[in-house]
Each structure stands twice: as C-alpha cells, then as structure tokens.
Structure 1
Amino acid sequence: MHITMALQGITKIAFLWRFALALVIVMLFTPKATLAKRSKKKAGLDMNVIDQCWRLNPNWRSNRQQLATCSVGFAGKMTNNTGRGLIQYVVTDSSDNPLNPKPGTLRYGATMIGGKKWITFQRSMNIKLEKPLLISSFTTIDGRGAEVHIAGNACLMIYKASNIIIHGLRIHHCKPQAPSSVMGPGSKIMTVGQVDADAIRLVTASKVWLDHNTLYKCNDGLLDVTRGSTDITISNNWFRNQDKVMLLGHDDGYMRDKNMKVTVMYNYFGPNCNQRMPRIRYGYAHVVNNLYQGWMQYAIGGSMNPSVKSQANHFIAPKSGNKEVTWRKSTDEKTGSWKFFSVGDVFENGASFAQLGTSGAKLGYNREQVFPVANARSVKLLTKSSGAIRCTSRFRC
C-alpha cells in the first residue's frame, strides 16, 4: 500500500514538472510580436477608433503623417495633407508679426509656405498672436510632443480654405479684434473685418478636422462653423469654462448653411459650459459619443429647421436648474420641418431630450467617413483623454 501511494506521488510530481516545462517552452517560443499584439489590443480597449489608429504606435513621432489616415466623420480621411511635395516645417519662434512674418514663426508656416505643409513645434511655447491667423489650405498644425498655448489676444481663422488639420493645441483667452490687415494665405496681404473673440472660426471652409484641442475662456465663443462651411469633423476636444461653446451656421438669414455637414464626436463638454454644444442652423449635425458634464441653459439647440442626430452620448444634467438637453427657437418650431432625434443616449440626474420630426435624417457617410458608434455607457472611458494630450519623452500619448 505504501509503495502504491509513493508511486502515485512520483507520477503526480512528474506530471507537474512536464506541465511547467511545457508552459516555459510556450513562453519562450511564442513570437514577441504576438505578445506585443495582444498587449497592444488590451491597451486600446479604452481608446476610441481615432486614437487607436495612432496612439498605439510607440514610434508615432517618426511617422507623424499617420495621423492623417485616422480621421472619420464628415471630414473623411485627410490624406490630401500628406504625400508628394509635403514640406515639414518646425516652429522655433513664438513671436508674431501680422504683416511681415519671420521664418520660424507659426504665421510664416501657415501663410508664407505654399502647398502641403506639416507644422510642428520645436519646444513648448506660448504664442500671443497680434492679429487673427489665417490658415492656408493643405495645412496641418500638429502640437503633439509640445505644450503649445495660443492665448491672450487674437486666435485662429480658416477663411475660404480646405484640407486643414488642427491637432493638439491649447487655445484660450481670445479677445475681439478691430478691422486690420494681415498676411494671408499665398503670401498676400488681406483685409480682415471686425473679428469676434472665438478660439477657432471657420468661414466658407471645407474638409477640416479639429482633434484633441483644449479650448476655454474666450470672450465670445470657442468654435464657429459659418458661411457655407461643410465636411467638418470635431473630435476629441475638451471644451470648458465657457458661455457660448460651439456655433454651427452663420445666422438665421444665411441659407447657404443648408448644405453644412458636421460630425461632433468624442468631445468632453465641461465643466462650466452654459450653452451651444452645439447650436445649429439649417444644416446637419451628427452629435455622437460625447460626454456632457452639465449645462446651464441647454446642451444642444437650434433654429431654422436643422437636422440633428444625437447618438450614444452621455448627458449628465446639472444638480439643479434646467435638465432638458435641447433648446429650439420657438418661432421656427411651429412652421418648420424639424428633425431632432436621440438614439441610444444615456441620461443622468434627470436629463431629458425633447424629440421633434417624423424621421431621423440619413447620415450619408461614405466609406472613408464611416465609423462604429460605441455604446453610450463607454463614453466616459472613450473621452478621458479629450483635449490636448501631454506627449513627451517621459509620457507616452
């Protein structure tokens, strides 16, 4: 009996040794690429589809133009900003001269250099623009790897330009500007009229992608998309501490904005935002997978019969005051053909959404624009990196 038990013990020990040896062999001979792929997949679970496209690449600094393949929504892919003839320009000087830009300054790169240019920053810097900066077509401003502030006076304008990426900037404390002359696209002096204090203003612009910027505390609004601008994607931005946040559509009399198409996705609104997240006139807005941390007047509003699809957003109503997400100009509501829809949204603290219209507007995304919509319950996770990301040698994106 004792001999039998001893033999069973030896057999059990031998089995355990064989199992351990097999495990070691599997670990030693499993390709490192496979392990890295699994690790990469796990790391990407808390990123939205745009961020997964480039942030999982540890060598993004040596392949910055990969970013242009990551955009979705109505802007589509921004690959027109890359390829043959691309000029890589580095901002080394934080000063600004509106009429005679110095080489090395942001204004020089955005206005004096023709064709495709990819603008980066040598180091972190604070740029105080003396007059509005008019950005020319086929320009990418890439703030990754530096902490770049545009603050304290004039800010950015995209006027009759297309194929523009603005990524990774901190734009704040913008002030109104009197009519003036500035160096514009194509190295031409342009007269600019009275400019409100918006962080970024689009005027008759198209195919523009605004991603991972932090915008706050401007005298007027943070972002205006006006006068026939269309095919715009606004993603991964952090809007905070502002009364009027985002305006889509010039005014109630500007009917050209009927053709406007804007995707608002993965943005974080709050804290301390009052209204216009966004406010839209005439056109179409797909507002999807955004996080709203309260509001005072309303979150999403409109006039002149716009079409708005609010999809899989997370609305957290304020503890007191107005808990209704939407606002509509009452004079239009009786006569217009409104389409104001909520699909799969999550509402907290008593938030509610007043729907209008007979059917939801069709998105009309093409193959380069389409993207999977995440469940609203995951929005907090997918927007946790909204705003300009701190990417340095010590901190990965």
Structure 2
Amino acid sequence: MASHILNSLVWHSVLAIAIITTLCSPTLISCAKHTKMAGLSMNVIDECWRLNPDWRKHRTQLATCSVGYAGKMINNIGNDLLHYKVTDPSDDPITPKPGTLRYGASVIQAKVWITFKSDMLITLQRPLLISSFTAIDARGVNVHIAHNACLMIFKATNIIIHGLRVHHCRSQPAGMVMGPEGKVITVGQVDGDAIRLVTASKVWIDHNTLYNCPDGLLDVTRGSTDVTVSNNWFREQNKVMLLGHDDGYVRDQNMKVTVVYNHFGPNCNQRMPRIRHGYAHVANNLYQGWGQYAIGGSMEPSLKSERNLFIAPTSGSKEVTWRKESNGSGGIWEFHSVGDVFENGAYFTETDGGRVPKPHYNMQQIFKVADATAVRSLTRSSGALRCTKTSRC
C-alpha cells in the first residue's frame, strides 16, 4: 500500500495535495518530506494548515500554527467562540452596523473569529480598534483596507490578523471612535500606520500585504510585547517596521518580537525593523534591497539575525545595519548575525565580542530556523494568499 502511494506521488502530481494530507501521520513519512516530494515549498507555519484541503471547514486550526513570541493562539478558539461574517464594507466609527468589520472587531465582546462573505474594499472612517480575543481571517477572499484610516490594537491581547491587504492609509486628527471594549472613546492623532500596536500583547500578524502608507507599515509601541510577524509582504515603503515607541520609553525594554518568513521589498528604504530598547529575533526573511539600511536601532536593543537572505541594492548602501549611538557612547549593543547569507555585496556590522542573544522560547513558541539557502522558497507565498472557493491556498 505504501509503495502504491509513493508511486502516486511521483506519477500523479495533480493528486499530491490530497495524498499528502492523508499520509501526514506520526507513523508514516513526515509532512515535510511529502511537501518536498510534491514540489511544494512551505514553512512550518504554512505546513500546519495549508496542506489540509478542507481548511475552510476547519479555519480555527490556524490558531495552532503560530510560532515565535506570540506562541500558539489557542486562547482565540474553544467552545465559546463566536463566528462572525463581514457582509457590509461600509463603516460608521461611532455606531457600527451589524455585518460591518467594525461591529465584529470592536463592538462584540467575546472570542470572535471574523471572516468575509466576498471580496471587498473597506475604507475606514476612523482607526479600527480591535478588541481582545479577536481573529480577523480574510482567507479565500480579496479584502483591502485602504484609502483612509487603518488598524490599531490598543490595550488588547490575543489578536490574529491574517490575509488582509492594507495600503494607502492616511493620517487622522484626534476624534471619537468605537473603542476595543465596545465603548466610544477619544483617540488622539494617528500618523497613518497600516497596523499600530499600543500596549498590546500576544499578537500574531500573518500573511498580510502592506504597502504605501505615509508613516510606517507596522509599529509595536508603548509596552507591547509577545508579537510574531510572519509571512507578510512589505513593499513600496520608506519606514517599514518600528519596534519600540521612542528613546525615552524604557518600558519597551521588555518588548519581545519574532520577525520570520517575511518578504521585504521591492522599494523599501529602512526599518526592517528599527528596534528600540527591546529584543527581536529576525529569522528566515528575504530582503530585496534597501535604501538607507535594513535593520537598525537605538537605546541598546538586542537582535539575533538568523539565517536571513540579504540582497544588497545595485547602488547605494550595502550595509545591512545601522545603529544610533546612545548619549554619545556605544552603549551595550547586541547585534548578532548567525548563518545569514549576503548577496550583491551586502554586509552586517556585528557587536564585537559578547554572546549571541537567545530567544529563550518556550514549547509553544519554539521553531526550527531553516538554512538561509531555503529562504527564497520559504517566503515565496509571503503576503495575502490568493485563495479562492475552488482552489487551495
């Protein structure tokens, strides 16, 4: 029987996905080996759910697939989970209507798994403040958040954002908006970030496409921690990702962020990421050039850059790193490169001496970092996936 199945894998490639799903058990050949045999290239997050042809019937399986500092998102699922479908792309920031994204993300105070009925463009009138224990899952449809306000996670925890296209955000003056606890609050001026975290924890941002915003694409600020940023495509942007609010906000010393399997570029200038105070594990990412620098920081942050692929731009700066000195001295820096691959003249300036900072992951966070030679394959599907009702992701 096993021989027959293996022959099918070789001679009937069109059936590979179904066979893989059937055979992935502890007593048979591993899923990873089957993936390789089928000609697919998936990282450990995607292998967890994309090989299942019935993923649409088991959407919440996704919550068990995250790695890094966010850990497994099992607090977002369970018997008390409410499933909510967005059917209306309109937006009212004060009194959201049932069927809109804001109603599901801000008004409902429960574990909620949000999906979308169809393709849609949502133009938010004010920033969308996402409540704790909310999963936004846009798999299977083409959902754009664009052309005005964008997303904010404010004093919330256990958040999943998956499969959105967020772009052309705009800065917003201070004003009233439905808050993350279902009450109208005042939000100060926002600068036009695609996704901004403010005093947030346990957040997983996966398989989104983010580009062309006036400030940044992703900010992790004001004591936010336990964040995983994975499988995203960041492109067409000056300032990409900021980790740490400002030089004076020392509470960000406790910040821990995992940045893994992302594609940076083309046409990204800087901050991939820029780190203040805290710690970042940056692994298996593809860097398609940069303008000023790829990874930078200030206020003595710690960084483990592990098995990334850095492709320097044809002209301009070839150096991956940039460091702003603190108070006129070098400070206690920990910038280390482990197994990175550098192309087109790229180079990384490391800390002299010292130890390589470890992530110290627990069993729900740990993952094996692949060799950098596999990065192109592991990031091939970065960004919002093109899933349809009749095709696999």
**TM-score over 0.5 (shorter chain):** yes
| 1:86 correspondence with 2:70 | no
| 1:203 correspondence with 2:188 | no
Q: Cα distance, 1:25 vs. partner?
A: 12
CA gap 1:35/1:344 in 2 versus in 1, 3 angstroms: closer
- Number of the residue aligned with 2:383: 387
**Contact conserved, 2:285 with 2:375, CA < 8 A, in 1?**
yes
Q: Counterpart of 1:249 in structure 2: which amino acid?
A: G
CA gap 1:134/1:351 in 2 versus in 1, 3 angstroms: same
CA gap 1:25/1:144 in 2 versus in 1, 3 angstroms: closer
| 1:247 correspondence with 2:242 | yes
CA gap 1:27/1:290 in 2 versus in 1, 3 angstroms: closer
Normalised to the residue count of structure 1, the TM-score between the two structures is 0.91
- Number of the residue aligned with 1:108: 103
- Number of the residue aligned with 1:365: 361
Select 2:347's aligned residue among 341, 348, 352: 352
**Contact conserved, 1:304 with 1:332, CA < 8 A, in 2?**
no
| 1:338 correspondence with 2:338 | no
**Contact conserved, 1:44 with 1:56, CA < 8 A, in 2?**
no
- The CA distance in 2 between the partners of 1:25 and 1:173, in whole Å, is 48
Q: Cα distance, 1:251 vs. partner?
A: 0.1
Q: Cα distance, 1:26 vs. partner?
A: 10
- The CA distance in 1 between the partners of 2:4 and 2:42, in whole Å, is 33
Larger-Rg structure: 1
Select 2:160's aligned residue among 165, 178, 198: 165
Q: Cα distance, 1:134 vs. partner?
A: 0.2
**Contact conserved, 1:138 with 1:164, CA < 8 A, in 2?**
yes
- The CA distance in 2 between the partners of 1:148 and 1:192, in whole Å, is 25
Select 1:301's aligned residue among 290, 296, 302: 296
Question: Could you list the per-position Cα deviations for residues 197-245 of structure 1 after superposition, in whole angstroms to 9, with x for gaps in the alignment?
Answer: 0000000000000000000000111000000000000000000000000
Secondary structure of 1:243's aligned partner: strand
| 1:322 correspondence with 2:299 | no
| 1:189 correspondence with 2:184 | yes
- Number of the residue aligned with 1:264: 259
Q: Which moved more, 1:238-247 or 1:326-335?
A: 326-335
Q: Cα distance, 1:115 vs. partner?
A: 1.2
Q: Counterpart of 2:81 in structure 1: which amino acid?
A: L
Q: Cα distance, 1:34 vs. partner?
A: 8.1
| 1:136 correspondence with 2:134 | no
Q: Cα distance, 1:363 vs. partner?
A: 1.1
**Contact conserved, 1:303 with 1:332, CA < 8 A, in 2?**
no
Q: Counterpart of 2:284 in structure 1: which amino acid?
A: N
- The CA distance in 1 between the partners of 2:381 and 2:254, in whole Å, is 32
Q: Counterpart of 1:59 in structure 2: which amino acid?
A: D
Select 1:310's aligned residue among 293, 305, 313: 305
The sequence identity of aligned pairs, in percent, is 68
- The CA distance in 1 between the partners of 2:5 and 2:317, in whole Å, is 63
| 1:127 correspondence with 2:158 | no
- The CA distance in 2 between the partners of 1:129 and 1:212, in whole Å, is 21
Q: Cα distance, 1:84 vs. partner?
A: 1.9
- The CA distance in 1 between the partners of 2:19 and 2:187, in whole Å, is 54
Q: Counterpart of 1:351 in structure 2: which amino acid?
A: A
Q: Cα distance, 1:333 vs. partner?
A: 7.2
Question: Could you list the per-position Cα deviations for residues 233-286 of structure 1 after superposition, in whole angstroms to 9, with x for gaps in the alignment?
Answer: 000000000000000000000000000000000000000000000000000000
- The CA distance in 2 between the partners of 1:161 and 1:283, in whole Å, is 20
CA gap 1:26/1:370 in 2 versus in 1, 3 angstroms: closer
The ranges of structure 1 where at least 4 consecutive aligned residues each deviate by more than 2 angstroms after the TM superposition are 23-28, 32-45, 330-335
| 1:72 correspondence with 2:67 | yes
Q: Counterpart of 2:363 in structure 1: which amino acid?
A: R
| 1:49 correspondence with 2:44 | yes
Q: Counterpart of 2:249 in structure 1: which amino acid?
A: Y
CA gap 1:359/1:129 in 2 versus in 1, 3 angstroms: same
**Contact conserved, 2:195 with 2:219, CA < 8 A, in 1?**
yes
- The CA distance in 1 between the partners of 2:20 and 2:366, in whole Å, is 29
Secondary structure of 1:221's aligned partner: coil
| 1:224 correspondence with 2:219 | yes
- Number of the residue aligned with 1:18: none
- The CA distance in 2 between the partners of 1:143 and 1:312, in whole Å, is 30
Structure number with higher helix proportion? 1
Q: Cα distance, 1:375 vs. partner?
A: 0.3
CA gap 1:327/1:100 in 2 versus in 1, 3 angstroms: same
- The CA distance in 1 between the partners of 2:263 and 2:108, in whole Å, is 34
Matches within 5 A, 1:10-49: 36-37=22-23, 42-43=37-38, 46-49=41-44
- Number of the residue aligned with 1:12: none
- The CA distance in 2 between the partners of 1:240 and 1:33, in whole Å, is 36
- Number of the residue aligned with 2:287: 292
**Contact conserved, 1:305 with 1:332, CA < 8 A, in 2?**
no
- The CA distance in 2 between the partners of 1:27 and 1:133, in whole Å, is 51
CA gap 1:41/1:60 in 2 versus in 1, 3 angstroms: farther
| 1:281 correspondence with 2:286 | no
Stretches of structure 1 that go unaligned for 5 or more consecutive residues are 1-22
- The CA distance in 1 between the partners of 2:4 and 2:387, in whole Å, is 37
